[in-house]
Amino acid sequence: MLSIHEIFLRLTIAAALGAIIGFERVLRRRPAGIRTSLFVCLATALFTILSGEIAHRLGDSSGTRIASNIVQGIGFLGAGAILRGPGGVLGMTTAATIFVEAAIGMAAGGGLYAVAGYATGLVLFGLTVIGWAEQYFNLKCRLMVFRITTSQADSLATEIQRMMAGMKIPMQHLRTSMAGATSTVEFEADVTHKQEEAIFNQLNRQGVITEVAPVEGHQE
């Protein structure tokens, strides 16, 4: 049986590793922040500890019975983070992060501190370094809404259609609205950062105001 000090140590390490991952999520303004990540790691570590301790006290040879159900349970939690939005499926990275946090918590709960720490490092590498590389090399597309305000909406709408066709970028929800003498053209497109800049630079000129923003709710 584990001593109370060893149990406290395992729970503390699990909570700390979860909080570290959650802190990165908060910095990137993503769901499943510090408290959620901390609780996932803490809960799975506690379940892992209890699985062995209860089995030992009851003389049950199956000491992993409780822990084996963690994978199924954490799947429901991760599924709650996945949503279908206008840009497709959202929240896959968040769900995957929750899933690996559960594994880290189980490793810490099992006393595999080096494994839990190394796995945390790999998660942070994937979320930060690989995430940065995706943006730097324009590997990741984001669903953006483009809003162009001008007094010549009719000709501009035609120009936009030709430009996007030339760039081979599909448009979504192209719409034109009037407000007095001012017209607004809006559309959505799944673009890389470089494509976003190219569209902005071609549309933004004297007499034309171009605004670009992520589609609401479009997150990893």
Report if residue 67 sits inside a domain: yes
Q: Is the model's pLDDT at 192 over the cut of 60?
A: yes
Is 155 in the same domain as 201? Answer: yes
How far CA 69 is from CA of 36, 72, 102, 112, 151, in Å, comes to 19, 5, 11, 19, 62
The whole-number pLDDT of residue 112 equals 96
The whole-number pLDDT of residue 175 equals 87
Is 190 in the same domain as 110? Answer: no
The whole-number pLDDT of residue 134 equals 79
Report if residue 68 sits inside a domain: yes
The whole-number pLDDT of residue 220 equals 52
Domain boundary among 136, 160, 178: 136
Tokens encoding 196:
């976003």
The more confident residue out of 122 and 27 is 122
pLDDT in tens, 69-108: 888 888 778 777 776 555 555 678 888 999 999 999 999 9
Nearest residue to 174 via CA among 162, 189, 163: 189
Is 127 in the same domain as 112? Answer: yes
The whole-number pLDDT of residue 117 equals 97
pLDDT in tens, 4-25: 999 999 999 999 999 999 999 9
Q: How far is CA 126 from the centre of its chain?
A: 12
Tokens encoding 95:
């769900």
The whole-number pLDDT of residue 41 equals 97
- Mean pLDDT (the chain) is 85
Mean pLDDT of 47-68: 79
Is 91 in the same domain as 196? Answer: no
Domain boundary among 110, 136, 162: 136
Mean pLDDT of 155-161: 83
Residues 6+ apart with CB under 8 A from 84: 90
Q: Is the model's pLDDT at 152 over the cut of 80?
A: no
Is 114 in the same domain as 161? Answer: no
Domain boundary among 74, 104, 136: 136
Is 130 in the same domain as 148? Answer: no
Highest mean pLDDT (candidates 112-116, 169-173, 186-190, 195-199): 112-116
Would you place residue 190 in the very low, low, confident or very high pLDDT band (cuts 50, 70, 90)?
confident
Give the CATH number for residue 170.
3.30.70.600
Q: Measured in Å, how far apart are the chain's first and last C-alpha atoms?
A: 41
State phi, psi for 149 to the nearest 5 degrees: -110, 130
CA–CA gap between residue 87 and residue 137 (Å, rounded):
21
Instruction: Please count the structural domains in the chain.
Output: 2
Q: Which domain holds residue 157?
A: 142-214
Mean pLDDT of 129-137: 82
Is 34 in the same domain as 115? Answer: yes
The whole-number pLDDT of residue 77 equals 80
The more confident residue out of 195 and 90 is 195
Report if residue 219 sits inside a domain: no
Is 21 in the same domain as 99? Answer: yes
Alpha helices in the chain (DSSP H): 4-27, 34-58, 65-68, 70-79, 92-109, 113-124, 131-136, 153-167, 193-203
The whole-number pLDDT of residue 180 equals 75
The whole-number pLDDT of residue 104 equals 97
Report if residue 220 sits inside a domain: no
pTM of this prediction exceeds 0.85: no
Is 101 in the same domain as 37? Answer: yes
Is 60 in the same domain as 115? Answer: yes
The whole-number pLDDT of residue 3 equals 94
